[in-house]
């Protein structure tokens, strides 16, 4: 404390009172987080008793990881501590999710005893083929979300009549791994990210979306496409379990019940688009990443319906 009866403190006084270094206090002062109350006749910065409490607050906020910009706003009263803390929690959550993804990939590499070349492929799924995409394990959650949203936007662009339930379900598809993924989930996740950026796959999915939009009338309820797909899988599974041949008369009756007034040729074309190997693989990968048990794209059930429709068209 300077000996002039004012009770003002020098930076050295603050350092002794708080245990912080003079260099640190001077830096925070230079950055505007701890402005001096006044200056001495010699130009030295002087502080008051409130500066000690303010300095302790700055130290606490910095130890919690807040940047100086947020610290300045709190000290100046431009932001309250609660709102800054909430924003920082959100930022930490995003960082934690990103670290978990990196940890999951590296854990799989360690379990496998992977070589350097294999690890490079895990971290960069497209193998560095130009144009090289961002390395998957280093993407933030927001960046992975952007990849998904760009894929969905491209798939449904201009298709106002596409089933809104399917569109929303795809947009909300999980793009992150669970906290403790299995090696199979990591593999599936990497392959899925690669697939979402594959131009051929995107073109096939666009075709599927176009068929979906073309088959919907003004009175078609939302979610009808998903209902039809579930009914198709159930009918075909039951037929296969009973040994019903796709070309048999009984298959003809099953198709009539399944399709109703729908044009069989149009349904066949639509199912062939959806039965593409990459589209089927996409469905399988989603099941694995979400941890929903045995991966299945219901290839056999879709193949049975396609064969039955082809037999009908041929007859």
Hey, which residues does 45 pair with through a beta bridge? 39
Percentage, residues of the chain above pLDDT 90: 11
pLDDT tens figures, 55-67: 998 998 888 888 8
Model pLDDT for residues 95-122, shown as the tens digit of each residue: 776 677 677 777 766 766 656 555 554 5
What domains can be seen in the chain, in order of their start residue?
A: 11-75 (1.10.1660.10), 136-314 (no CATH)
Distance CA 237, CA 244 (A): 10
Cβ atoms of 14 and 20 closer than 8 Å: yes
pLDDT tens-digit readout, 245-272: 999 999 888 888 888 777 788 777 777 7
pLDDT band at 129 (very low <50, low <70, confident <90, very high): very low
Q: Does the pTM exceed 0.85?
A: no
């Amino acid at each position: 404390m300077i000996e002039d009866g004012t009770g003002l403190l020098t930076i050295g006084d603050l350092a002794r009172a708080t245990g912080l270094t003079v260099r640190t206090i001077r830096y925070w002062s230079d950055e505007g987080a701890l402005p001096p109350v006044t200056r001495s006749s010699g130009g030295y910065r002087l502080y008051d008793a409130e500066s000690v409490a303010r300095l302790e607050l700055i130290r606490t906020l910095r130890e919690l990881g807040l940047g100086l910009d947020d610290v300045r706003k709190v000290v100046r009263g431009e932001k309250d501590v609660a709102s800054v803390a909430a924003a920082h929690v959100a930022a930490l959550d995003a960082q934690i999710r990103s670290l978990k993804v990196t940890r999951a990939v590296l854990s799989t590499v360690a379990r496998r005893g992977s070589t350097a070349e294999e690890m490079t492929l895990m971290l960069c799924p497209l193998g560095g083929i130009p144009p090289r995409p961002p390395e998957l394990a280093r993407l933030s959650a927001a960046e992975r979300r952007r990849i998904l949203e760009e894929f969905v936007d491209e798939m449904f662009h201009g298709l106002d009549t596409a089933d809104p339930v399917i569109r929303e379900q795809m947009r909300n598809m999980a793009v992150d791994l669970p906290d403790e993924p299995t090696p199979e989930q990591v593999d599936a996740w990497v392959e899925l990210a690669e697939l979402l950026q594959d131009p051929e796959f995107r073109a096939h999915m666009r075709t599927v979306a176009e068929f979906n939009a073309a088959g919907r009338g003004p009175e078609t309820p939302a979610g009808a496409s998903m209902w039809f797909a579930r009914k198709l899988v159930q009918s075909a599974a039951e037929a296969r379990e009973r040994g019903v041949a796709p070309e048999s008369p009984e298959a003809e009756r099953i198709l009539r019940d399944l399709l109703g007034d729908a044009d069989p040729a149009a349904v066949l074309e639509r199912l062939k688009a959806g039965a593409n190997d990459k589209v089927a693989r996409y469905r399988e990968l989603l099941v694995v990443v979400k941890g929903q048990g045995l991966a299945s794209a219901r290839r056999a059930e879709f193949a049975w319906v396609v064969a039955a429709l082809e037999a009908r068209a041929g007859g």
